[in-house]
Amino acid sequence: MGLDSKQVALLVLLVASVISVVIALILSLVKSSEVPLPPGTKYGMVFDAGSSHTSLFIYQWPTDKENNTGVVSQTHVCDVEGPGISSYANDPPSAGKSLVACLEEAMNIIPPEGQRGAPAYLGATAGMRLLDLKNKTASDMVLSEVSKTISRYPVDFRGARIISGKEEGSYGWITINYLLESFMKYSFGGRWVRPVSSKIYGALDLGGASTQISFIPKVEIADPEQRADFKLYGFPYSIYTHSFLCYGQNQALKQMLVKAVEGKDLSQPINIPCYPAGYKSTIAQASLYNSPCTVKSAPSSSLVQDITITGTGNSTQCQDLLKTIYDFSSCTGKEFCSFEGIYQPPVVGKFFAFSAFFYTFDFLNLTSGQDLPTVKSRIQTFCAQDWTELQASFPKERTDRLREYCANANYVLTLLLDAYKFNENNWNSISFMKQAADTDIGWTLGYMLNLTNMIPSEASASVRTQSYDVWIAAVFFIVLTLALGLLMLVLYFR
């Protein structure tokens, strides 16, 4: 039983109208997201003045979208020659001079018309926090010299300062989640939505002089000292964050050496299980106690001796030695506690471990999600290698670094397992990463985003949240209704 020509015409009309309604709806979705003008590009730069070195990060973003998440990207990194700025305590002007080469490089990268409007910052971390404790005059002079140098360049310089451990932890956490678009996500139809099941990552940062842990715990954060609250894109976040001064890699190893020589006859060689088997060197006794992290352990006698140390390359003993640098006893009787009596709720969710966590594990090829037993056994094998063989296997590696991978790797293990209390079950929730979205992970991006107000605390009009999903559902419902109507019409004519 066929349809007559009138019925065919009606059907064609109906199909055509359904198609045009669908097209109109799709167009209305897409239209509002269209980029109206070719956007200009803005630049910004941040010096990360760490304890052992300084890096300059240059960022760029399209001006018309500056309040959107995920649009700031890294243009360039410049590594400053020489040590961290805190090492210039006795010669502050040289701290300023050390930045010149990277500033010149930046001026070649940022086009002249973009320079005046480019916000520029210098943030100093734990190395300068320690210098500030040791000699405030010296740290002020260093900051003033680096400021003088940066001020000579035609950028919008907004100051050099020492950032607090809490800021360092918070900005690292913001950087990761901004780059992974955990706050807002660019979605179908060109709108910004908050991901429905917000996948927020925790941050694990390891520097030379301090280490930071930041995450959103399952439980209410009981100690306001370790809590940071902020509102991003209209949503409140409360994160746990703590920075341990003296527990960055270099200061931790200094503490380890202090423990190793404690109560020993220093005229005899001292065995260090964290250095490779067969490694031997002489260190000045005074060099062990020249930091605020170890000065309290200095013996009262004069520190004139040279100490001979010999590596034994034993991971198990190395971890036992490293565990003695943490004060776990202050946590006795406390339910949620890492060390030094510091409150820490149980770690939960996924984490990114970056900076020295990444560099150490990357050298050992341990960044591809290996399980904990594999990691432990790889570190054990590496440490047991003879120093001469090790040097032959890695002829390009700097000797002072090569010597310390065994110690650093074991330090990472004790910090994550014994201090922060990760375990075999949640070990694989940690990703060892250097970058996300082609941008280095660290505190600098979060710092710049916050200080330039590029993460508004209120959601802008263009940001849709749940209502966007309702909108999608409505479109779907309309299309479904029309299709059903059409089907019924066809059946009716039959």
Ligand X SMILES: *[C@@H]1O[C@H](CO)[C@@H](O)[C@H](O)[C@H]1NC(C)=O
Q: Which residues are catalytic?
A: 168
How far is C-alpha 1 from the chain's CA centre?
70
Interface of this chain with ligand X, residues 49 to 108, rule: CB under 6 A: 64, 66-67, 89-90
Using alpha carbons only, what angle is made at residue 453 by residues 450 and 455, rounded to the nearest 5 degrees?
A: 75
Q: Of 384, 375, 382, 389, which Cα lies nearest the Cα of 405?
A: 382
For ligand X, the closer of residues 261 and 459 by Cβ is 459
Q: Which long-range contacts (CB under 8 A, 24 or more apart) does 6-14 make?
A: 7/493, 10/489, 11/489, 11/490, 11/493, 14/486, 14/489
Q: Among 138, 209, 221, 430, which residue sits at the site for ligand X (rule: CB under 6 A)?
A: 138
Q: Nearest distance from residue 335's CB to ligand X, in Å?
A: 27
Q: Do 455 and 449 contact (CB within 8 A), yes or no?
A: yes
For ligand X, the closer of residues 135 and 391 by Cβ is 135
- From the CB of residue 480, how many other CB atoms can be counted at a distance below 10 Å? 10
Q: Nearest distance from residue 111's CB to ligand X, in Å?
A: 20
For ligand X, the closer of residues 378 and 421 by Cβ is 378
- Does 168 bind ligand X (CB under 6 A)? Our answer is no
Q: Nearest distance from residue 364's CB to ligand X, in Å?
A: 5
Q: Nearest distance from residue 428's CB to ligand X, in Å?
A: 20
Q: Among 186, 230, 359, 427, which residue sits at the site for ligand X (rule: CB under 6 A)?
A: 230
- From the CB of residue 95, how many other CB atoms can be counted at a distance below 10 Å? 27
- Does 450 bind ligand X (CB under 6 A)? Our answer is yes
For ligand X, the closer of residues 186 and 230 by Cβ is 230
Site size for ligand X (CB under 6 A): 20
Q: Among 28, 41, 137, 481, which residue sits at the site for ligand X (rule: CB under 6 A)?
A: 137
Which residue's CB atom is positioned nearest to ligand X? Answer: 138
Q: Nearest distance from residue 82's CB to ligand X, in Å?
A: 17
How far apart, in Å, are the Cα atoms of 66 and each of 7, 96, 103, 150? 55, 31, 24, 25
For ligand X, the closer of residues 64 and 386 by Cβ is 64
- Does 135 bind ligand X (CB under 6 A)? Our answer is yes
Q: Nearest distance from residue 54's CB to ligand X, in Å?
A: 19
Does residue 236 sit in helix, strand or coil?
A: strand
Spatial separation of the C-alpha atoms in residues 86 and 492, rounded to whole Å: 85
Spatial separation of the C-alpha atoms in residues 176 and 232, rounded to whole Å: 14
Q: Among 17, 164, 365, 435, which residue sits at the site for ligand X (rule: CB under 6 A)?
A: 365
Q: How many CA atoms lie within 13 A of 60 on its CB side?
A: 14
Q: Nearest distance from residue 488's CB to ligand X, in Å?
A: 47
For ligand X, the closer of residues 268 and 365 by Cβ is 365
Spatial separation of the C-alpha atoms in residues 457 and 254, rounded to whole Å: 42
For ligand X, the closer of residues 66 and 156 by Cβ is 66
What is the widest separation between alpha-carbon atoms in the chain? 112
Binding mask 453-492 toward ligand X (x if CB under 6 A, else -) reads x--x------------------------------------
Spatial separation of the C-alpha atoms in residues 382 and 276, rounded to whole Å: 8
Ramachandran bin of 206, using left for φ above 0, alpha for ψ from -120 to 50, beta for the remaining angles: beta
- Does 170 bind ligand X (CB under 6 A)? Our answer is yes
How far apart, in Å, are the Cα atoms of 418 and each of 114, 324, 410? 48, 11, 11
For ligand X, the closer of residues 145 and 261 by Cβ is 145
Does residue 161 sit in helix, strand or coil?
A: strand
Binding mask 400-439 toward ligand X (x if CB under 6 A, else -) reads ----------------------------------------
Q: Which stretch binds ligand X (CB under 6 A): 153-161, 195-203, 360-368, 476-484?
A: 360-368
Burial class (CB within 10 angstroms; exposed 0-12, middle 13-18, buried 19+) of 144: middle
Instruction: Say how many Å lie between the first and final Cα of the chain, rounded.
Output: 7
Q: Nearest distance from residue 93's CB to ligand X, in Å?
A: 11
Q: Do 383 and 318 contact (CB within 8 A), yes or no?
A: yes
| Structure tokens that stand for 254 in this block | 């200094």
Interface of this chain with ligand X, residues 179 to 208, rule: CB under 6 A: none
* Amino acid (one-letter) located at 347: V
- Residues of this chain that interact with ligand X (CB under 6 A) are 64, 66-67, 89-90, 135, 137-138, 141, 167, 170, 228, 230, 363-365, 382, 450, 453, 456
